[in-house]
Amino acid sequence: MSKINLIILGRIEEKTDMIFYKVLLRQNSLLFNKAVVQLFSVASQFFDFLDGMPDDFSFVLLVHAGLRNDTEGDDGINFAKELRSFKAFEGLKFEYTSRDGAQNKSFNGGKLYHANTLADDDFDLSCLPVNTMRELRGKTGDGKSTTAGAVEKSPAQAEPEVVDFAVVTALYDDEFKVYEADCNLETGVGVYNSHKSIFKEKRRGNFGEDYDQPFYVIHQERMGLVDGAIHATQVISQIQPTFLLMSGVCGGRQGSVNLYDVIIPSTVHDYATGKFKEGKFESLKYYSQADRDLISFLEKKREDIILNMRLIIDKGRAHLLRSDFKIVIDEFACGPWVVKTSGFIDKMSFDPEHPENSEKYDFDTIPVKNINSNIKGLEMESYSILRAGQIIQKSKKYALVVKSVMDFTNEHKSDGPNGSVKANAAYISYICVRAMMPYLLDFKQKQTVWK
């Protein structure tokens, strides 16, 4: 029998508070065998957690009353006010618990359960009121809103299908078109330029048959940070995929990466937000990071993903994955410019005033310096993707950038004959995303706590 999800809300301000939590978290207690227990000390943190839960997630909620002599139940009363004032979840049901007071007595209009009874007696958790996210969000079984006075949505306003993946591309040409070529698409809902997609042909890789469920592909209206931020925020808020992936092309640091290598940024530096002071530009050195656990997982799976790419790639384009092809997971840079200037990445990657570097390029023409020594590439959208993921902060939701090198940001930068180099890089990025999908689902499963 699956365990019940038990959420407990209680202050953690005094050392004595920890005794309450130890009672409910002991591994040899009866409660441990019947429930997955999650603790929150701040109501807003609890609501952030619920916001990331799927519609079928259910749980029971207990509020620590705080019946110590110094508070006499103020904690429980204040928590109840916060819970009832949050209009998005007006139907939230909860009871109270404490280590003080008689068992099963009333408190603040609800029942008060003694913590020792919950943990050590054969307590029947089914007597506690159950919440489901579908009901809290005001949905019926068919997904329609049940809120009083609500207006039924038109198909264009309907909610997007719940999916594991949503892929954003900076441009329609090449970057989006490669998905269009290999997927059956239908116009999506909820997000501008979105398309619900499914791979036309299932390919067998080293992880078994590749991803066979619908996912979303979205192309920006224009390239750049502004459209990147708008579309990423829309996707995270409306589609709510487990993984928001940006697929496409980038410029690479010559000597560190090769043509068509894939760069997955662990950190993206916004090099162009700053101020001009006395005629010189000073970057504010903003940066945004991908989830550390996800990055660590991908570092371990890098060679497996490359093998999967080699197995599922179209045979006519297999030559693009050369024997020295690699996935680079490292620092990245993002700004508002298409860069065609030799030494641009070098200047933000090392000190131009060092004697060995000062003569290499005419650095006076480049308005950035000393951003980070590990930068391996740059483009114009990635900071927005990771930043949107950080700001919205949905539980167990991840943003990731997957870009293939199409040039080295110098004067020789070119899309290639008939745009072939850019098209090839866009394709390699797509193949990498597709090859990663089964592994990302494996990561998701490893991160799942709630049954």
Q: pLDDT tens digits, residue range 244-268?
A: 999 999 999 999 999 999 999 999 9
Residue 359 identity: E
Mean pLDDT (the chain) is: 85
pLDDT above 90 covers what percent of the chain?
49
pTM (2 decimals)?
0.65
Q: Residue 21 above 90 pLDDT?
A: no
Q: Residue 198 above 70 pLDDT?
A: yes
Please name the residue ranges forming H helices in 35-150.
43-51, 74-85, 115-120, 133-136
Q: Residue 7 above 50 pLDDT?
A: yes
Mean pLDDT for 335-359 is 78
pLDDT of residue 154: 39
Mention every residue, 6+ apart, whose C-beta is less than 8 A from residue 44. none
Within the chain, all domains assigned CATH 3.40.50.1580 are found at: 165-447
Nearest one of 346, 345, 343, 348 to 369, comparing CA atoms: 348
Q: Residue 361 above 70 pLDDT?
A: no
Mean pLDDT for 206-213 is 87
Higher-confidence residue of 88 and 355: namely 88
| Number of neighbours of residue 147 by Cβ within 10 angstroms | 11
Q: List, for residues 146-193, the tens digit of each pLDDT value.
A: 443 333 343 444 567 789 999 999 999 999 999 999 999 988 877 889
Report the SS3 class of residue 164: coil
Work out the angle between the directed axes of helices 43-51 and 74-85 (0-180°, nearest 10): 40
Contact 216, 239 (CB under 8 A): yes
| CATH among 2.60.40, 3.30.1490, 3.30.70, 3.40.50 for 4-136 | 3.40.50
User: Which CATH architecture best describes the domain 165-447?
Assistant: 3-Layer(aba) Sandwich (3.40)
| 95-to-24, 30, 46 alpha-carbon distances in Å | 16, 20, 16
Contact 417, 263 (CB under 8 A): no
Nearest one of 248, 283, 258 to 433, comparing CA atoms: 248
Q: Residue 304 above 60 pLDDT?
A: yes
pLDDT of residue 150: 36
For residue 329, the Cα-to-chain-centroid distance in whole angstroms is 17
